[in-house]
Structure 1
Amino acid sequence: MTDICFVVSHGFAARMVVYSRVIPLLRGQGLSVVLLVPEGDTAHLNSIAEEMGFRVEVISTGALRGGRLSGWIRPYLFEDVGRNPALRAKHLRSVRRMDARGLASRAFFVLNRAACRIARLRRALVNWQRGKLRSRVVGETVKKLRPAVVVSTYPVNDLEASVLLEAQCLGIPTVGQLLSWDNITSKGRWLVIPDLFLAWGSIMAEELGRYYGVGGERVMCTGVTHFDTHINGVTRPRIVESLERLGLEGERPYLLFGMSSPVFAPTEIEVVEHVARLVESDQFGAEMQLVVRPHPQNVMGSMADMSWLPRLEMLRSSRVAVQFPLMVRSSLPWATEREDMLVLANLIGGCSVCINSGSTLSLDAIIQDRPVVLPLFDVGSQWPWWASARRIGDYIHQRTMIELGGVTVTHSLEETMRAIAVYLADPSVHSAGRRLTRDRELGPCDGRASERVARALQRLVAEGYSAGVRALSG
């Protein structure tokens, strides 16, 4: 029998579960832990599992293909695509394809309009697809593991949804511990809802109630486990070491530009080049430096654009450095090395201003009270909304954060320069908004989120399913 089974289908979830202190704390209490992952290269996870004392179990994704819908189709059946900016942008991108998928997107949008109007049709579609999630292979795996608790990190994923469903059919308590702040509003509807949730902060808790009717004692705000590194792992010597490794001066100020995939910000490389020129020409002072960090999606997977890489390399100088994320080969998309979170946290902790096009890096910076600039615009000719960086500010999770008043959104290169200059002159600008954002988005930020998650799961194992709600709320 297994005490706790974490279902992990994404590299960012591994960072939250494996690279935090959650598993060591659970193991310290004598609890057994299994990481259930999709088939593929698990060598990196296996080495960590041997060190930390948990097991890695692999499940074939081939067991999930029987009649299931592709991920891009599912939102048409279960979401109001026209009213959700993130899903609408994906739809508008898809219908411009000159292939079968483009034609299918048009047809599915017609079905989407009908499903939004006819509740009976929508319920029938949900029940039909939930039936497709049943899997003999997954069911046998869950029975073999016999976990006391199953924790899902990305419930929209087919593998995770199937494990959740099989666990619930067996009467096993299920918990949602979401890997990112956009999972509720931007990824499409989950067909299997965990019984209980470990939410980041009050905004995530409110969204669970609004979109899934889950609230009250079924949700506990724990904070963000891997963000504990921002509180416990950032020191001045580490900041200096990180800069010197990149060839920069460890004691001089610097800007940090965290890039996004070109799918979200197609002309961002030109913004990066512009900021680099400003730094090189002393527009922000004779000592200012720049660190550019591509997003993992910049350099790996279907969202990458390798044509950017030579342009980034050309920026390197005595004052401009490029820090590539420390990626690892894995069955999990966009998986990083364990050290990557520590390096990133220290680069954020020492920066004067953090610039990014709407990624989670905004929250990484805000937890350390670093000023944030969001350049949500296109350089040169304006791209259509569905492809433009402008649309990012319309996404529900981004709009919610922006309205809290802790960041500056810019709409041109000139505005970006001015916003950086304002923060350099007075870093306390928008500090009240950053505090509000930190409290509402991230919950308790005391470096003990891992302890809260481990304690909640430990109580749930000890008290069983009938006491599950009390285990989280007590």
Structure 2
Amino acid sequence: MPSISSYNSLEVIGLVIVDGVGFKNFILSDFLHQAKTLNQKVIVFSGLPATAYDLIENDEIEIVELEVFVESGETWFWRKMKEVAHMQQHKKDFFGIAANLEKNKPSDTSRRAKLISLIFKITSVFNSEKWIYNYNKKQLKSARKNPAFSKYHKLLSDSKIKTLFFTHQRPPYLGILNEAAKDLGITTSSFIFSWDNLPSKGRMAAPFDSFLVWSELMKKELEYFYPDTKNKLIKVVGTPQFEPYVMKEYHVTQKDFLEKFKIKPNRKTICYSCGDVSTSKSDSLYIETIAEAILEKKIPMVNLIVRTSPAEDGSRFKAIKERFPFIIWNFPKWKITRQNHPEPWSQRVPFKEDIEDLRSLLEYCDLNINMCSTMSLDFMIFDKPVINPVFGNEKNGLYNDQKYLKYAHYERVVQSGSVAIVKNKRELIESVNFSLDNPQARLAEQRDLLKLQIGKPLKNTSLRIAHALKDL
């Protein structure tokens, strides 16, 4: 692996990877290759340990491991003020933001809980863009006192980069990285990480110089929630999240897929894809409903594959696995790269094999069922029908997953007619049978939704991003 000093006159870009999903999107996509074609060298400033990159074969990148950032109480206070104020400002118009604001309310009487109560009281009145700017200014001023700031500053100074590209916009330590870059005259740009981040989450970490977004829709959202971005460069590039689906190295033949997952080729195949336990608590109920319907012949004999969340180990499904031995399980192959981290889920990194497994499921399964996740888009890319079960509401005692239908990003999915929304067992079984018999019934609506959410073709996504960074 070359040293930073060996880059000479080549253009050097800093790439900030914060977690395993960023690793998947920018290390396992075509980005490194396309940067090379534009005569760019990449230095990765990594929130993952350097050993995580042993999973790839690439001697063209320099890995700079970032020290884990431990926030001071003062910095935390001003960051929380900024984030809660942002949500207070938009809670009336966006259900997802209101729901996340509610989650932030204190539930005990600890010192921190009392501080959060104070923050809620202050920001219920003082939450304009002007006030948010002031909270952010105080947050970053206090963060500069943190020993990590001087270390980040030196790392960026030594790197000689001209552009620092953040593959996420939310983790708190990105704010002080952005501040260090500002001191050094380094241009910064941030990618908006996910389709729900703007209309559902709190304030981003820093006022970056420019932004790369999925679509014109996301560009409009960015300008709405962050009015100052109207005066900044915003480029629509698509998202590398889905690019592996058009890359030859991740293609698996149908024969290999059938053999690996022990699929009976004379049957159709349903894939149930789980969320994580914090947002998709009823996965077990939905899997049981489908499995029982198969045994009772209410659904024709099919292959049933369950893919668990990469953020979990799948242990919560032990009882179901024992009860229904015919279910095929796909536990994502993600490696835990660091123990004892404040956010351990962020330290999980995918193997190349898992991208192959996921793509083969998307390509060769006949139907997807998930609880309102991004996986709806993944399967639509391969023209597969999608069902979203949401049995729970505020009255029936089940986990209220129907609330996600009111989140702005998913409300559009519902309104588009591209998925089947089912609210009880009967509707789920009927929808499964209909979708297996009529797989293209919602195809036009699916393709329209993909155009809206993913603004550019999957092919050459990384090349567009590399060009956008070069233009900066």
Aligned counterpart for 1:176 among listed residues 187, 190, 194: 190
> Equivalent pairs: percent with the same residue?
18
Contact 2:169 2:206 in 1 (8 A): yes
What does residue 153 of structure 1 align with?
Answer: 167
Comparing 98-107 and 438-447, the one that deviates more: 98-107
Q: 1:383 to 1:396 in 2, by over 3 A?
A: farther
Structure 2: distance between partners of 1:133 and 1:187: 22
Aligned counterpart for 2:140 among listed residues 130, 141, 152: 130
Contact 1:229 1:447 in 2 (8 A): no
What does residue 124 of structure 2 align with?
Answer: 113
Q: Say what the alpha-carbon RMSD is for the aligned residues.
A: 2.8
- Aligned partner of 1:253: which letter? K
Contact 1:230 1:346 in 2 (8 A): no
Structure 1: distance between partners of 2:232 and 2:169: 20
Aligned counterpart for 2:282 among listed residues 244, 267, 283: 267
Residues 1:35 and 2:35 are matched in the alignment: no
Residues 1:372 and 2:386 are matched in the alignment: yes
Residues 1:394 and 2:406 are matched in the alignment: yes
Contact 2:16 2:165 in 1 (8 A): yes
Comparing 159-168 and 431-440, the one that deviates more: 159-168
Residues 1:327 and 2:341 are matched in the alignment: no
Question: Secondary structure of the residue that 1:56 maps to in structure 2?
Answer: strand
CA offsets 1:77-133 (integer angstroms, 9 cap, x no match): 3332743433433443454733525554443322221223x6654442232123234
Residues 1:422 and 2:429 are matched in the alignment: no
What does residue 465 of structure 1 align with?
Answer: none
What does residue 459 of structure 2 align with?
Answer: 447
CA offsets 1:27-72 (integer angstroms, 9 cap, x no match): 244321111112x643121452x53421110121246547321776
Comparing 77-86 and 16-25, the one that deviates more: 77-86
Question: Secondary structure of the residue that 2:305 maps to in structure 1?
Answer: strand
Which structure carries more relative contact order (alpha carbon 8 Å, separation 6+)?
A: 1
Structure 2: distance between partners of 1:222 and 1:245: 35
Deviation at 1:361?
A: 0.7
Contact 1:328 1:336 in 2 (8 A): yes
Structure 1: distance between partners of 2:150 and 2:217: 37
Q: 1:181 to 1:380 in 2, by over 3 A?
A: closer
What does residue 302 of structure 1 align with?
Answer: none
Gaps of 5+ in 2: 5-10, 339-345
Contact 2:174 2:206 in 1 (8 A): no
Contact 2:370 2:376 in 1 (8 A): yes
Structure 2: distance between partners of 1:120 and 1:174: 22
Gaps of 5+ in 1: 300-304, 461-467, 469-474
Q: Give the number of aligned pairs.
A: 447
Deviation at 1:293?
A: 0.7
| TM-score normalised according to structure 2 size | 0.86
Aligned counterpart for 1:77 among listed residues 79, 85, 92: 85
Contact 1:255 1:351 in 2 (8 A): yes
Structure 2: distance between partners of 1:41 and 1:237: 30
CA offsets 1:159-198 (integer angstroms, 9 cap, x no match): 2222122213322221222332122222311242322222
Structure 2: distance between partners of 1:236 and 1:7: 28
Contact 1:326 1:337 in 2 (8 A): yes
Q: 1:53 to 1:250 in 2, by over 3 A?
A: farther
Question: Secondary structure of the residue that 1:297 maps to in structure 2?
Answer: coil
| TM-score normalised according to structure 1 size | 0.85
Q: 1:109 to 1:64 in 2, by over 3 A?
A: closer
Question: Secondary structure of the residue that 2:355 maps to in structure 1?
Answer: helix
Q: 1:212 to 1:43 in 2, by over 3 A?
A: same
Structure 2: distance between partners of 1:246 and 1:428: 25
Contact 2:337 2:349 in 1 (8 A): yes
Structure 2: distance between partners of 1:25 and 1:262: 36
Aligned counterpart for 2:373 among listed residues 346, 359, 364: 359
Comparing 136-145 and 64-73, the one that deviates more: 64-73
Q: 1:450 to 1:103 in 2, by over 3 A?
A: same
Deviation at 1:22?
A: 0.6
Contact 2:250 2:356 in 1 (8 A): no
Structure 2: distance between partners of 1:267 and 1:47: 33
Contact 1:199 1:223 in 2 (8 A): yes
Residues 1:283 and 2:298 are matched in the alignment: yes
Residues 1:67 and 2:84 are matched in the alignment: no
Contact 1:328 1:335 in 2 (8 A): yes
Contact 2:214 2:236 in 1 (8 A): yes
- Aligned partner of 1:340: which letter? D
Q: 1:416 to 1:77 in 2, by over 3 A?
A: same
Question: Secondary structure of the residue that 1:114 maps to in structure 2?
Answer: coil
Structure 2: distance between partners of 1:124 and 1:62: 22
Q: 1:425 to 1:449 in 2, by over 3 A?
A: same
What does residue 53 of structure 1 align with?
Answer: 60
Structure 2: distance between partners of 1:105 and 1:422: 49
- Aligned partner of 2:435: which letter? Y
Structure 2: distance between partners of 1:75 and 1:169: 24
